[in-house]
A and B are shown apart, each in its own frame.
Chain A
Amino acid sequence: MTRTRSPRSRSKRPSGGLRPWLGWAIKLSLVGLVVLAGFAVYLDAIVQEKFSGKRWTIPAKVYARPLELFVGQKLSKNDFLTELDALGYRRESVANGPGAASVNGNTVDLNTRGFQFYEGAEQAQPVRVRFSGDYVAELSSTNGSKLPVVRLEPLLIGGMYPKNLEDRILINIDQAPPFLLETLVTVEDRDFYHHFGVSPKSIARAMWVNTSAGQMRQGGSTLTQQLVKNFYLTNERSLSRKLTEAMMALLLELHYDKREILEAYLNEVFVGQDGQRAVHGFGLASQFFFSQPLAELKLHQVALLVGMVKGPSAYNPRRYPERALVRRNLVLDLLEQQGVATPEQVAAAKKMPLGVTKRGSLADSSFPGFLDLVKRQLREDYRDEDLTEEGLRIFTSFDPILQMKSEAALGETFKRLAGRKGSDEVEAAMVVTNPETGEVQALIGSRAPGYAGFNRALDAVRPIGSLIKPAVYLTALERPSQYTLTSWLSDEPLSIKGADGQVWKPQNYDRRSHGTVFLYQSMMNSYNLGTVRLGQEVGVPNVLKTLARLGVEREFPAFPSMLLGAGALSPMEVATMYQTLANGGFNTPMRGIRSVLTAEGEPLKRYPFQIQQRFDPGSIFLIQNAMQHVMREGTGRSVYNVLPKSLALAGKTGTSNDSRDSWFAGFSQDLLAVVWLGRDDNGKTPFTGATGALQVWTSFMKKADPLPLDMPQPDNIVQAWIDPHTGQGSDAGCPGAVQMPYIRGSEPPAGASCGGQEPATGDAVMDWVKGWLN
């Protein structure tokens, strides 16, 4: 006891307090150690919690329809190559590895990438496609065996972004292309595989560089520290944050191995900004800049991406291509210096262009109009969190090729019509669907492509004008004992007294009356007087019932003005209505989504094809016939100035009062398009349905090159020969006799064969026959 005591008292004296200082220091550091340990426990909990759980929330991804390939499919080689480019297929002389394509005359060899669809997996495989004309003539494996059907992977067209707008495509470390990991480590953290999270060596080096330069030049952060910083911490620059970062880096290294940390880094790293969306991870960066899956990237692309980590906005290859190129080549030099790549590889890579997708190309376009439709449909079934966090995969019917064509048609037509006074203020909307499946294939919500604002295709509810008329005539044609296509209809002036005592005097567009005409002629020329008369006869409420059966859910008052389209609909509603006319009287709810898969690729939900027969096919056959007359010789006839006469089309123009709305709705066998032009302030436009919307429609159909309309003739339809003047039965041998379809039993009695009767000339019915035979 005394022995131990005396030294202490002795030591106290001479130094005047060294011993107590040490004692205090030990005690203090013990306390500090406990506090620090507590802090470390706390940090460790954070590190593990976030790293072991769901590391990232992933916005739902929205895909276009996959392009199907099969023999006999109508697909031009050009469209096919556009799709391949958008999917980031590399053009090579010999297609080598997934995502490569080689073009040889009419033959395209490609290696598809494979994809998980709702119905199952589509395998990656080598495929040879031979085109002939605008058709696929041959589809085989490159070894020569025939393939019945092949699907390309679908184009990613957008996502459902959450508030923080972080987007990424998660990747596995195994998907890293050659050179990526080595390049990343070489450029960002050469000691990565040897340190425990922090690297005293690089800190020392950084300090040396910074002090000698007199400013912050170099950071001593390891990849692990960078990950910790991005993953757990704010951007604040302070010593305490730096220390926390270091501790967390150590903790992370303690729990997880290098590969896991590197993989997390690959997915976390910020590589660029796309408007409001932050592009995170190399997986998305690869799609964003090259439109290719990460695994397919080559050395020069890898060097560019890794080089960008240092300053994503400063080295943005789209905005500062020269700067990005210098940076990329610097990285390549470093790789050569460090022996990661051979001088030959580096020299070859340096010769390559940056290779980022071009602006305005399919790969670099956005389709906010269609995505808006998808979002609205999804919101009926999912909460916002499901859409923004769960990484769902949404498969849609969107056809990017048709979308590009419709946008081009709209742009070119506006350019052509720019001379018309006031055309600058005119807005536009367009809906393109497949009438045989009820799927929406393209959608334009604004005249400016890519504009994500007011979606006129869904929300511009405007008077449809004469687009209503098929409903009026269909109502009549459903009563074959009363009406046929060749029933006489008076196009004489009339006035209608409303319930309020007001008198309504409808007028024709040309302000003339046309006497007595065939029913189909009144329809094809869009005569208002004849239509109102017919509508009054069948009854406005019945016309509205027909409208509802056609798929229009909006309620309208039964005013006579409804017969001329005073009721307002959105372009999408018009598409629904005309879809029923185009699809043999079968209504189908418009669909933009086919199915939804979970992030793991498990089927989650399907949006099945549904149909309902609303009309007898016979009466639909007749109204389609009348709508073909519209195109052949009626208000839509200008279409054949551009399109071949062999292309059977049906449609209807619509113009609201004072040309405030210019409409056209029409269809071929496989394509239905509705175009609306008008002003947001509902002002007058310089366009009628025929001079405005129809022009866009025609331009679109010219580009889309659809199949001619060909509704199979229903069993209750007979074709009868008639005299084009009188509508009376005639004989096939009679000069000028034409065939018209009738519901069986409503056809005129067959006429006698005529010997030497004089041929009728100058008649309308005959003109159109001649017209389309020519």
Chain B
Amino acid sequence: MNKLWIAAVSALALLNGCASVPQGSIPVVDSGVPVSNNERISAQRTAGNYPQAAAAPRATQARTITEDSGVVVMIPGGGATVSTPISTQPFTPGPITLGPAAAPISTGSYTPGNTYSAPSPITPSGIPSNSSGGGLAADEQLDGPVLALLTTAQQQQSSGDLNGASSSLERAQRVAPREPQVLYRLAQVRMAQGDAAQAEQFARRGLTFASGRPDLQASLWGLIAQAREKQGDAAGAALARQKAKVSL
């Protein structure tokens, strides 16, 4: 027993000398980074997938939303104030009536959650109900979550993180599935990703919810025109451009 000890210890002493792994240098966590919650937050998105994202620090991205997209309306306010909800619309839960002409069969006499007293200035779907004026007046009524997510998406897009922007916009779309501005932005990002076909589809979907909002319709048709051009459909693009003019 004793000899074994001596042998082992001396062998170890020897080995330790030539061991290539210096003490304490073993990474605490290997490929299986903990999935437990506290840890998750610390996981960094590395530059590997998003070189541009890494190159452009977040802080510099908080710029006016409308600035670099070249698009007319979308998010009002710009700059540092973008994340504050501006709407003063009363909160109406439940079904959202779109535009002036409501389908008589589907809406009917429905009165939403009668126990609910409207404490908040936000429409859940983000679809403004008075859209007669068109233009900014309607667009300014984007509500808190949608506005916040569009802002995030905008920051991600300007830092080159198109996948992140896409993902944030899809999150916004889940929150407000019928908000045409979200669909418009999705279309824009798909376009930036080089997917003109999907860009056109999202713009078309946006149009089905943009009734009574000529500015937005014009922007959507404009985007459709671009997307069609990119797909080699010159005639279709011309037609869309025509529509864009009519909308305005």
- Identify the A interface with B (CB < 8 A): 29, 32-33, 36-37, 40-41, 44, 48, 51-58, 61, 68, 70-74, 98-99, 113-116, 118-124, 132-135, 137-138, 146, 148-149, 153, 156, 168-173, 175, 243, 247, 250-251, 254-257, 260, 263, 283, 286-287, 293-295, 390-391, 393, 434, 436-437, 439, 584, 586, 594-595, 597, 599-604, 606, 608-613, 617, 621, 624-625, 628, 645-648, 669-670, 707-715, 719, 739, 741, 772-773
Contacts and interface: CB of A to CB of B under 8 A. Distances in A.
Contacts of A58: 31-32, 35
A624 B102 CA distance: 14
A148 B144 contact: yes
B136 interface: no
Interface in B40-76: 40-46, 48-50
A119 B155 CA distance: 11
A72 B124 contact: yes
Contacts of B10: 33, 37
A178 B221 CA distance: 60
A36 B95 CA distance: 80
B110 A648 contact: yes
Interface string B84-109: 01000001011111110111111111
B230 interface: no
Nearest to B104: A739
B109 to A, nearest CB: 6
A708 B96 CA distance: 9
A247 B122 contact: no
Contacts of A611: 198, 201-202, 205
B156 A613 contact: no
Contacts of B245: none
What 8 A-B pairs come out closest when comparing CB atoms?
A601-B43, A72-B124, A436-B177, A148-B148, A58-B32, A70-B145, A646-B110, A148-B144
Interface of B: 3-4, 6-12, 14-16, 19, 21, 23-24, 26, 28-46, 48-50, 83, 85, 91, 93-99, 101-111, 113, 115-117, 119-120, 122-125, 143-145, 147-149, 152, 156, 163-164, 166-168, 170-171, 173-175, 177-178, 186, 198, 201-202, 204-205, 208-209, 211
Contacts, number: 332
Contact of A772 (B103, B108, B174): B108
Contact of A600 (B12, B46, B186): B46
A153 B120 contact: no
A172 B208 contact: no
Nearest to A612: B201
Given A170-B34, A173-B28, A255-B19, A37 B7 contact: yes
A460 B32 CA distance: 37
Contacts of A710: 95-98, 102-103, 106-107
A623 B159 CA distance: 44
B14 A628 contact: no
A597 B32 CA distance: 12
A670 B177 contact: yes
A715 B95 contact: no
Given A120-B164, A148-B85, A739-B104, A114 B43 contact: no
Contact of B35 (A33, A36, A391): A391
Given A149-B144, A584-B208, A741-B103, A52 B26 contact: yes
B96 A114 contact: no
9 contacts: A40-B15, A113-B37, A137-B91, A255-B21, A434-B177, A599-B33, A610-B198, A611-B201, A708-B107
B117 A170 contact: no
Contacts of A260: 24, 26, 28
A666 B209 CA distance: 22
Contact of A283 (B6, B36, B98, B115): B36
Nearest to B40: A116
Contacts of A44: 12, 15, 19
B3 A29 contact: yes
Contacts of B99: 712-713
A271 to B, nearest CB: 15
A601 B85 contact: no
A9 to B, nearest CB: 29
Given A609-B170, A646-B109, A175 B116 contact: no
Nearest to B166: A608
B156 A119 contact: yes
A120 B163 CA distance: 11
Given A36-B11, A646-B110, A132 B119 contact: yes
A519 to B, nearest CB: 16
A36 B7 contact: yes
Given A74-B124, A148-B148, A708-B106, A714 B208 contact: yes
Contacts of A712: 98-99, 103, 178, 208-209, 211
A574 to B, nearest CB: 22
Contacts of B177: 434, 436-437, 670
Contacts of A613: 201, 204-205
A600 B170 CA distance: 23
A119 B171 contact: yes
A98 B12 contact: no
A84 B16 CA distance: 50
Nearest to A53: B30
A54 B36 contact: no
A390 B171 CA distance: 27
A669 B28 CA distance: 49
A115 B35 CA distance: 9
A134 B113 CA distance: 8
Given A120-B164, A137-B119, A149-B144, A294 B36 contact: yes
A119 B116 contact: no
A301 to B, nearest CB: 15
A57 B30 CA distance: 10
Given A168-B32, A646-B110, 9 more contacts: A33-B6, A33-B10, A54-B32, A170-B29, A600-B31, A601-B45, A648-B106, A707-B94, A719-B104
B61 to A, nearest CB: 12
A199 to B, nearest CB: 14
Contacts of B167: 118-119, 594-595, 606
Contacts of B186: 609
A172 B37 contact: no
A603 B49 contact: yes
Contacts of A294: 36
Contacts of B209: 712
Contacts of A119: 152, 156, 164, 167-168, 171
Contacts of B205: 584, 586, 611, 613
A41 B44 contact: no
Given A119-B164, A175-B39, A603-B49, A71 B104 contact: no
Given A115-B40, A135-B113, A48 B19 contact: yes
A71 B122 contact: yes
A606 B201 contact: no
Given A123-B41, A255-B19, A606-B163, A707 B95 contact: yes
A118 B33 contact: no
B48 to A, nearest CB: 7
A37 B10 CA distance: 8
A119 B162 CA distance: 10
Counting chain A CB atoms within 10 Å of each CB, the highest count among B7, B44, B48 belongs to B7
A40 B13 CA distance: 11
A391 B35 CA distance: 8
Given A255-B21, A393-B35, A436-B177, A135 B110 contact: no
Contact of B46 (A116, A602, A617): A602
A172 B29 contact: yes
Contacts of A243: 4
A254 B10 CA distance: 12
Nearest to B183: A611
A118 B209 CA distance: 28
B38 A295 contact: yes
Counting chain B CB atoms within 10 Å of each CB, the highest count among A33, A70, A122, A610 belongs to A70
A342 to B, nearest CB: 26
